[in-house]
Structure 1
Amino acid sequence: MALTLTACGDAQDELQQWIEQQRREVKPNVTPLSPPKKFNPQAYLAGAGVEPFSTQKLTVAIKQESRQPNSLLAAEINRRKEPLEAYPLDSMAMVGSVTKQGRPYALLRVDNLLYQVKTGDYLGQNYGKVTKISETDVSLREIVQDAAGEWIERTSSLQLQERAR
């Protein structure tokens, strides 16, 4: 048993010598990091300018657009707003239709109030004008800006909402 322990001790010494030799021979090759670039702060000069999304800038642009003689928006800007133009179309629901004196009316629910709408009335926030009323939907013409900033007409509709039982 003593002989076995002596043999293990020699192997351990031999291993320690090999590790020391490897440490002396192998030199790590690490490339040094480049120093950080100097940061030069720049003053923000656009802070005093007009905010690009301000309502003031939008109002000026709409007024300039309305002065053009062939503009779709010219007639819409100069008329008096109707109460349902304060609400977006997605907050309105058509709940029925009636006919009075041969003229069709749509019944719209907005904020839990019921409104009667006839052809020619305005509703929605995009200058929507009711063009047709049927038993199941209200068709309207809206004036919106396209991607190029031009005012164009588009058609929208409100469908009859059936109540769940």
Structure 2
Amino acid sequence: MERNVLILIAIPLPAFAFAYLYTNSDNMDLDIPAVPESINSFLLGLISAVILIQWVRFQKGIKKLKKTEVALENKLKGYNKLTVQRYWFLFWAGLFCAGGLLIFQNPGFTISYAIILVFISLGKPSPDRLVKLLQLKGDDKDKVMEFNVRD
């Protein structure tokens, strides 16, 4: 899971960095076609919706996982699925931010990407976060905390 999440984080970052450097540099000139300004607002709204949807889906999924009485392995599989889904949403939102910034040069896309980075950094999977989110106790907590131990 960690590898998949890191890949989903890493791909939009250079795209956004390029768009950001392009908008702040007078050295580069790309022939970007004119796009209706209404797309600008639509894209910012879409990004906001994707950010909100990923948060709501993740929180609902975690709440459901906490309430179920299933084995730890099944809870971990559920958490894995929710986390990867969350990062796919953030992946697409990040790419939309890069594209929007490149085309429209609107600082709203930079702010949106900063919000995405907050979700990425605060949501990164870790044993501590898993224990806290699923409210694990006893043996389940000990098993998960062993993930921190590297040989």
Shared fold (TM-score greater than 0.5)? Answer: no
Which bin holds the TM-score, normalised by the shorter protein? under 0.3
Structure (1/2) with the larger helix percentage: 2
TM-score (norm 2): 0.23
Structure with bigger gyration radius: 1
Does 1 or 2 have the higher relative contact order (CA < 8 Å, sep 6+)?
2
Q: TM-score, normalised by structure 1?
A: 0.22
